[in-house]
Structure 1
Amino acid sequence: MIRHINRRHIVGGIAAGAVAMPFVSRRPALAADPILIGLPTAQTAQAGVADHQDYLNGATLAMEEINAAGGVLGREIQFVVVDVDPLSPESCQIAISKLVDAKVHAIGCAFTLVPIPTADASSKYKCPFLWGVTQRNYTEEVAKDPEKYGHCFQTDPSEVHYGYTFPTFLKDMRDAGVWKPLNNGVHIVQEQIAYNQTISKALQEALPKSEFTLAKITDIQYPVQDWGPVIQDIKATGAGAVMIDHWVAAEYAAFVKQYQADPLKGALVYLQYGPSQPEFLELSGPAAEGFVWSTVLGVYADEKGKAFREKYQKRFPGIMGLCYTGNSYDTVYFLKAAWEAVGDPSKFKEVCDWIRVNSYRGVCGFMDMNNKYQECAHFPDNGYDVTATELEKGMGQLFFQVQDVQHKIIYPDALKEVALRPAPWWS
C-alpha cells in the first residue's frame, strides 16, 4: 500500500506496515524520477514513537529545504515511510524488506533495539544505511565484518560513552564548585535491556579509574509501575550521585514527581537520555526542575544549532526534541553531499565509500565515521575508543539540566549555555 502523506501530518493516520511517500513537489523544474530515502518509523509501537516522530520531522525539514532549492542533481527527494516496532526483530526485518522492494537510494532511521537483525535485512541490497542506533554491540559487528556491514553507518557515538563520561562530568562539576557531593558514591539504577546494561557496565568499568566509587546497583524492569521502592532504596543507599539508567520519557516523568516529594537531599540525580523526548517536559512540568540528563547526540546551542532550533519550532510548534530532530536533518544533508560528490545516488558502493572517508559538521556537531566501527567520534575524550580531543573533530556529548522548565546545556564547557545550579532538594 502506497499513498501520499499530508505535509503537516506526515505520520498521522498511516496504517501499520503501510508504505507511504510525503508530498510530491509541484515544481516542474525537477526531474520526474525522485531520489528515495527509506524511513523505518515507529508509528503504532508501544516504544520509540516520540524519537521516531522527531526523526521524521527533522528529515522533513531538510527535505523541504533541499527540494525548494532545486533538489539534488536536479531531482527531488521523497521519503518512503514504513511502520516499525523498534523492539521486534521480525517487524524491523519486514520494514527493511519493504524499503528494499521500493528500491530506495538510502535508509535513515532513529534506532531499533534489535540492530543486528535490522542491518542483516539490508546486507544484500547495500544502499547507504545511516542511523542513530547508539549501540556498541552492533558497531562491533560492523568492525568484525566490514564486507557485510560496510554500508551501515552509526550517526552518533555509542552508548558506552554515557558510562565512560559520567565520572568525568561529576569530577568537573565538583571541581568547578557548582556541586558539593555528599560523598563519592555512585548509585546505578539499571533497566534490563541490552542498551542500558551496556551503559551500566561501561560506568562500572570507568569508576575504578576515577575518584568515585560504586555504591550500589538496583535493578528495575520496564514498565516501572511504582518508583516508590526505588526511591526508598536511593535514600537508604545515600550515594552522592544517582544514575537512573532507563530510557522511557513517560516513566522518567513519573519518577521525578515522586522523587521531588521524597528526595535524597543533596544528591545529584542523572536521568539517562529519556528526558530528551518532548513528552518528558509535557508530563513532568515543574517537577523536572533540577534533574540532569545527557545525550551523545544532541542539537547544539551554538549559532548553527540555534538557527536550526528556530526553523524547526516554526515548522513544528511545541516542545522540541533535542536529539533525533537534528540528527535526521544532518543525515539528509550528509546524504545530499555524498550524492552530489558521487554524481549518482544509485551507485551505492561509491556513495558509501564517500561517506566513510568524509565528515560533516551539522547542527548536532561533527560527524566523522572513518573508523572501524563506522560510528561518530565522541567529544570530550574520555580515554576510550573513538573519542576526540578537539570539539570540531568529534560529536559533543551534551549534559543538560532542567532549569525553569527548559533544557539547558551545562557541559562540556565548550558548548555550555549555563552553569549547573542547585536542585530544589539540595538544601
Structure 2
Amino acid sequence: MTTPGGSRSTWSGAAFTVQVRPDGRLGLTDRGTHSDVPPQLHRIASAMRHTDLRECRFHWRAPRSARLCRVSLTARAELGFDHVELSGDPVEQLPGGLSTRELEVLTMLVVGLSNAEVAGELGITQRTAATHVTHLMQKLGTPTRTAAATRALDTGLLCVPLPGSAEHYAGLSVGRLLAAASSDAAAPSGEPRREVPRPRRPEPRRELVVGAALPLTGTGSDDGREMINGLQLAIEEINAAGGVRGRRVRAAVRDVEVTSSTSVRTAFESLARGGVDILTSGYLAAQEIGHETAATTGVPYLHAATSGAMEQMVRDDLGRFGRVFQVCASDTEYASRFVSFMTSVREQGHWGIASDRLVIVVRPWHGVDFGIDRARTVADRQGWSLDVVPVGRAGDGDGWARAMGAAVREPAAAVMIGSFFVDDAVRAVTALHERGAPALPYSIYAPSVPAFRHRLGRLAEGVVWATTTGTYSDRPGRAFARRYTDRFGAAPGRSHAGLAYDRMQRIARAWSACGDLSDADAIATHLRAEPYRGVNGTYNFDTPGQVALGVDEHGDPSLAQPQLIYQVQDGRQVIINGGPFRTGEFRLPAHLQRR
C-alpha cells in the first residue's frame, strides 16, 4: 500500500531527507527514497504549513516495528522555492541508554506532569513512575526533573506519538504540529481535494522585544539609568554577535513612577498592548500588577523586587505565576545579617563598642519586611537589644531627620537604614552626622547607586551597606565595568547595572535554547533548569518561589548569590563580607575613631 506521495505504509528503517512541497507532495531527496518516508511523518510534515513553526524535532516510534526514528522538520525558502525539509534517522540507542518507556516518561515531564499523573496516563503504579523518573535523571546526568525536561526540549528527546492525553501538549511546538496534522487528516474523504494555497515566502524574522518598566524620571530615577544602561549594553553585545537565532533584540522601555500603582498599571498595560516577547522591571510598590500582567498575557516576566511577599505569591500559585521569576534573593535576611555583621565586628575587637543597642530605621514599603522578627531572635541570642523606628509617609522631607534623631536619642552601636532609595539614605546619613552620634551607618542597597556618593561627598566615607545582588570585583565584574564605562562615560553602580545586564544575557540564553521562541512554557522551563553565572553571581531559579537562590557565608556561592556587604573606603566600594568575593576588611570610620 502506498500514499499519494509515494511512501509506504510501513517504515523501511532507512535514513531519509526529503523536501515536502507546499501542495503536500514529496519532492527532491538528499538521502533515501520516497518509499523510505513513513506516511505518518509525511502527513506531519505537510501539516507544518498550517502552523507558524520554523522547526520541530522529536523521536517517532513506528507503529508496527516500534523502531525509533529521530525526526527533524525545518521550514525553508531557497531561491524562491518554499518547502519543509523532513529528515529521519534510525535510532539504535537513545542518549544515556534511555528505554522507550523512559522516553515516554521524559516527554511527560516536559509538560510538568507529576509522578501520580504520569502513572495515571500510562496505566502504571505511582512507585513505578517514580522509579522511571529516577532512572532517566541518572542516565541523562541531570540533577532535577526540570533539568531533564530542559535537556529533552533542547535535544528533541520527545516521544511521538505523544504519551497520554493530547491536551497536555497543547502549549508545545510538537503538540501544535500534531494537532494540525490530526485536523488535516480528519477532513471528510468525500470532499474534493482543495487546492492548498502556496505559503507566502517567509518574511524577514522580526526582532525580539524586551519590555521594561523602569523609573527614568521621578522616584528611583538615578537607579533607573543604571538599569537601562545595563540592559542596553547587553542588547548591543547580543546584536553585535548576530542576535538570537538570527533575530535582533530591541528594548521597549516605559517610564514608571515606582511609588504609584496607577503608573505601574499604565506601564504594564502599554507593554502588553505592544506585544513584547518578555517582561522585565526593577522594584515597584505595586509589584503584583506585573505578576498579574504576566499571568494574563502568558509572557515570561523577570523582575527585581527583592520581595519575600512576591516570592510567596508565586510559590502559592505556580499554576498561574509559573512564568514569573525574581532575579535576586528576597529581602527577608537583611535585618538578621545586619545583627550578625555587628556581632562579627564586636568579636574582632577592632572597635571598643560602648553600646549593646542596635536600631533599624525603616520606611514601610509594599511587600517588604527585611526579616525584622527573625532579627530580634538573632539579636537576643547574640547579646544585643534591637529597636525599630518607623519613618513617616513618603514625601515627608523631615521624616528621616526625626526618625534618626529618635534612633540615637539613646546610645546605639549602629543604625540600619531600611530604604532602597538614594534620597532616603542620603537624608539618613546626613542626619546621623549632624547629630554627632557615635553610631555606624549601615544601609541597604541604596549606596550601590553612584549618586549616593556623589551627593554625600566625604560623609559617605565609612558607610557600610548590604545587597542581595551586587556586582563582583572579579575578572568578569571588572571587564563588565570597563565596557560599561567605555560605552556610557561613567562607571556602573554596584548592583542594578550588572543585574540588568545579566538578566538580558540570561533571557537571550533561554531564547537561544528553545526551538519555538513563542513557547513561553519552554522558556520558563529553561530558566528554571539551568543556572547562569553573570557579573552579579549565579542565577539559580530552581527554588519553590522561582527566586534566585541566595546563600549565607557558609553556603556554596558557585550555585547562588551570597548577600554582599560593602564599605565605602577612600571613595571606593570595598566588599568586606561575601565569602570568596571579599576584597578588603572592615575599617572603623574616622568619626568613630575620634570617639
TM-score by length of 1: 0.86
Percentage of matched positions with identical amino acids: 26
Q: Distance in 2 between matches of 1:234 and 1:347?
A: 52
Equivalent residue in structure 2 for 1:294, among 447, 466, 469: 466
Q: 1:420 offset after TM fit, Å? A: 0.8
Greater displacement, 106-115 / 283-292: 106-115
Q: Distance in 2 between matches of 1:366 and 1:146?
A: 23
Q: 1:254 offset after TM fit, Å? A: 3.1
Query: 2:387 corresponds to which residue?
Result: 216
Query: 2:425 corresponds to which residue?
Result: 252
Amino acid at match of 2:512: E
List structure 1 runs of 4+ shifted beyond 4 angstroms.
none
Q: Residues 550 and 560 of structure 2 are in contact (CA less than 8 Å); yes or no, is this contact kept in structure 1?
A: yes
Q: 1:111 offset after TM fit, Å? A: 1.8
Secondary structure class of the residue paired with 2:480: helix
Amino acid at match of 2:465: W
Change (3 A) 1:399 1:273: same
Change (3 A) 1:196 1:116: closer
Q: Distance in 2 between matches of 1:38 and 1:414?
A: 35
Residues 398-423 of structure 1: per-residue CA shift (max 9 Å, x gap): 11111112221111242111111111
Q: Residues 336 and 372 of structure 2 are in contact (CA less than 8 Å); yes or no, is this contact kept in structure 1?
A: no
Flag the structure with more relative contact order, 1 or 2, with Cα contacts below 8 A and sequence separation at least 6.
1
Amino acid at match of 1:156: C
Secondary structure class of the residue paired with 2:543: coil
Equivalent residue in structure 1 for 2:570, among 404, 416, 423: 404
Q: Residues 213 and 256 of structure 2 are in contact (CA less than 8 Å); yes or no, is this contact kept in structure 1?
A: yes
Q: 1:195 offset after TM fit, Å? A: 4.9
Change (3 A) 1:377 1:179: farther
Query: 1:33 corresponds to which residue?
Result: 206
Q: Which has the larger radius of gyration?
A: 2
Amino acid at match of 2:412: A
Q: Distance in 2 between matches of 1:353 and 1:83?
A: 30
Structure 2 unaligned blocks of 5 or more: 1-202
Q: 1:247 offset after TM fit, Å? A: 2.6
Secondary structure class of the residue paired with 1:36: strand
Q: Residues 37 and 79 of structure 1 are in contact (CA less than 8 Å); yes or no, is this contact kept in structure 2?
A: yes
Change (3 A) 1:417 1:195: farther
Q: Residues 188 and 243 of structure 1 are in contact (CA less than 8 Å); yes or no, is this contact kept in structure 2?
A: yes
Query: 1:384 corresponds to which residue?
Result: none
Equivalent residue in structure 2 for 1:307, among 472, 479, 504: 479
Query: 1:378 corresponds to which residue?
Result: 550
Q: 1:205 offset after TM fit, Å? A: 4.5
Q: Residues 186 and 212 of structure 1 are in contact (CA less than 8 Å); yes or no, is this contact kept in structure 2?
A: no
Greater displacement, 118-127 / 347-356: 118-127
Q: Distance in 2 between matches of 1:409 and 1:33?
A: 43
Query: 1:94 corresponds to which residue?
Result: 266
Residues 83-141 of structure 1: per-residue CA shift (max 9 Å, x gap): 22222223222222222222211112112121112211221212211111100111101
Greater displacement, 125-134 / 168-177: 168-177
Q: Residues 207 and 247 of structure 2 are in contact (CA less than 8 Å); yes or no, is this contact kept in structure 1?
A: yes
Change (3 A) 1:39 1:229: closer
Q: Residues 185 and 212 of structure 1 are in contact (CA less than 8 Å); yes or no, is this contact kept in structure 2?
A: no
Q: Distance in 2 between matches of 1:162 and 1:326?
A: 20
Q: 1:290 offset after TM fit, Å? A: 0.9
Equivalent residue in structure 2 for 1:82, among 233, 243, 254: 254
Aligned length: 389
Greater displacement, 309-318 / 174-183: 174-183
Q: 1:74 offset after TM fit, Å? A: 0.8
TM-score by length of 2: 0.62
Amino acid at match of 1:79: A
Query: 1:123 corresponds to which residue?
Result: 295
1:58-69 equivalent positions in 2, closer than 5 A? 58-69=230-241
Q: Distance in 2 between matches of 1:413 and 1:264?
A: 31
Q: Residues 289 and 423 of structure 1 are in contact (CA less than 8 Å); yes or no, is this contact kept in structure 2?
A: yes
Query: 1:385 corresponds to which residue?
Result: none
Equivalent residue in structure 2 for 1:144, among 316, 323, 341: 316
Q: Distance in 1 between matches of 2:490 and 2:430?
A: 22
Equivalent residue in structure 2 for 1:278, among 450, 461, 486: 450
Query: 1:317 corresponds to which residue?
Result: 489
Greater displacement, 198-207 / 216-225: 198-207
Query: 1:17 corresponds to which residue?
Result: none
Q: 1:34 offset after TM fit, Å? A: 0.6
Structure 1 unaligned blocks of 5 or more: 1-29, 382-387
Residues 164-187 of structure 1: per-residue CA shift (max 9 Å, x gap): 322222223333344443233211
Q: Distance in 1 between matches of 2:519 and 2:273?
A: 17
